[in-house]
A and B are shown apart, each in its own frame.
Chain A
Amino acid sequence: MSEGLDAWQLIASGDATLISIVRLSLTVTLGAVAVAAVVGLPLGALLALTRFPGRSALVVLVNGFMGLPPVVVGLTVYLLLSRSGPLGEFGLLFTPAAMVIAQALLVLPIIAALTRQTIEDLWREYRDELTAMGVGPTGRVATLLWDSRFSLITAMLAGFGRAAAEVGTVMIVGGNIDGFTRTMTTTIALETSKGDLPLAMGLGAILIGLILAINAAAWGLRLWSEQRVA
């Protein structure tokens, strides 16, 4: 009970360490979702609209990668970025950039797979109409992405949820360095094993609160814009 009380005091006092951890977590997660969206939205749309040999295999692969084990992604990125790895010269291992890369790889299949499904369904509905209006391939992609924007926000939230809750990957490639690559999830894991439960609980509460807040904001945006457009 007293540990719970301590946790709330920690949050309420605006502890500097706490704030920097929260800020880093948000930056890394949002950065990863942004990178994954920039690649995943067009990739999903492309998969939905094009037919080529091996497409089915690729669709299955992308769908399957939604369940990619985080530690495996962490290990792969670790090997790529380590001093002796192919990308070692950039010195990214154990930096926030490495964490963004690793999490983006985790989130990418989620966004790409959900985008593919959404765009494919919408294309079925829009095909004749867009063809009759003379819309070319690029215009199609842009139109379908824009017109399914509400569903795609949900896809990005799913990606955000995964990245925000994730601990294995960022632990491996970030190294959980105090004040530099320590995120909410890695801190919770560390502090729990150290026995500092108030900080762990406080961070846990903040993490859940943030995820709920972002989802609530997205939901509100969706309601508001559907009222106006859909």
Chain B
Amino acid sequence: MTKRAALTDLPLVLDRVSLSAGATTMLDRLNLAITPGAPTLVLGPNGAGKTSLLRVCMGLAAPSAGTVSWGGRTDRGLGRRAMLLQKPVMLRRSVAANVAYALAQAGCPRHRRAARTEELLDRVALLGLAARPARRLSSGEQQRVALARALAREPEILLLDEPTASLDPAATRHVEEIILMASQSGTKIVMASHDLGQVRRLAGDVVFLVRGRLCEHASVGDFFDRPSSAEAAAFIHGELVL
């Protein structure tokens, strides 16, 4: 881990990045720099390219054009990034084994894994369910298992794809608290959302996407008070942006 700590993944820079599959364009010549600091929230209507943007930022997808660089490096090999997928996949094991697996992959030595697993499960308030089969949990609980797995990597950048989309308010609040805690301890949060209230609660800056293009990138205050595009203004006022 000390070896990895020497490298940094920030700033994360997208230079004219496009992503397409066949005739469908998911991202269209995007320029974006993600720097250390308060959470960056990726906002936009469904199909705007939020998931694609996060996948490219994670290195899960290679851009069809343009370049992505992490701390100046362009190899997609995993640095200190972790991602919470929109629909996390639970391994067919217990909750604790899911977290221990992520720890092992992150290079946590065997003798420390049990203690670290307990720590992480405590952090996401799942200690009581440690022995349960992970796939039997509710979607909110699975989201927290996935969050614990992502935190196991001790990421410098944590990408989250609508982590609270299917959660009730109490569970949402819980997940947001965990995310804020990670942010306060120095992890850069990049999170997709289409919930304006959540953006106000968490964001330092807002990346607003429409149809695969970067429509606006501004501080959260500017975004809500002085949106520079008609689409952003319409979105903020709850109108349909197509």
Known: A147-B91, A228-B133, A229-B93. 16 other contacts (CB 8 A): A126-B91, A128-B55, A128-B60, A128-B85, A129-B88, A129-B89, A132-B82, A132-B83, A132-B85, A132-B150, A133-B106, A134-B106, A134-B153, A135-B105, A143-B101, A147-B92
Q: What are 18 A-to-B residue pairs whose CB atoms are below 8 Å?
A: A126-B89, A128-B55, A128-B85, A129-B88, A131-B60, A132-B82, A132-B85, A133-B101, A133-B102, A133-B149, A134-B78, A134-B153, A135-B105, A139-B105, A143-B91, A147-B91, A148-B92, A229-B94
Q: Are B153 and A133 in contact (CB under 8 A)?
A: yes
- A230 at the binding interface (Cβ < 8 Å): yes
Residues of A contacting B82 in the complex (Cβ-Cβ under 8 angstroms): 132
Q: Which chain A residue shows the least CB distance to B106?
A: A134
Q: How far is the CB of A119 from chain B (nearest CB, A)?
A: 13
Q: Which residues of B contact A129 (CB under 8 A)?
A: 85, 88-89
Q: Footprint of B on A, CB under 8 Å?
A: 125-126, 128-129, 131-135, 139, 143, 147-148, 228-230
Q: How far is the CA of A126 from the CA of B89 in the complex (A)?
A: 7
Give Cα distance in the complex from A201 to B135, angstroms: 47
A229 CB to nearest chain B CB (Å): 5
Q: B58 near A: Cβ within 8 Å?
A: yes
Q: How many A-B residue pairs have CB under 8 A?
A: 46
B residues in contact with A126, CB < 8 Å: 89, 91
Interface residues of A: mostly helix, strand, loop or mixed?
Answer: helix
Chain B residues with Cβ below 8 Å from A135 are 105
User: How many chain B residues have a CB neighbour from A under 8 Å?
Assistant: 23
Contact (A133, B133) CB under 8 Å given A143-B91, A147-B91, A147-B92: no
In the complex, the chain B residue whose C-beta lies closest to that of A126 is B89
Contacts of B133 in A (CB 8 A): 228-230
B-chain residues with CB within 8 Å of residue A139 when the two chains form the complex: 105
Chain A, Cβ-Cβ closest to B88: A129
**Complex formed: what's the CA distance from A229 to B58 in Å?**
29
Q: How far is the CB of A28 from chain B (nearest CB, A)?
A: 33
- A128 contacts which chain B residues (CB < 8 A)? 55, 60, 85, 89
Which residue of A128, A135, A147 has the most chain B CB atoms within 10 A of its CB atom?
A128
Are B135 and A230 touching (Cβ within 8 A)? yes
> In the bound complex, how far is the Cα of B107 from the Cα of A134, in angstroms?
10
Chain B 72-90, CB within 8 Å of chain A: the 1/0 string?
0000001000110100110
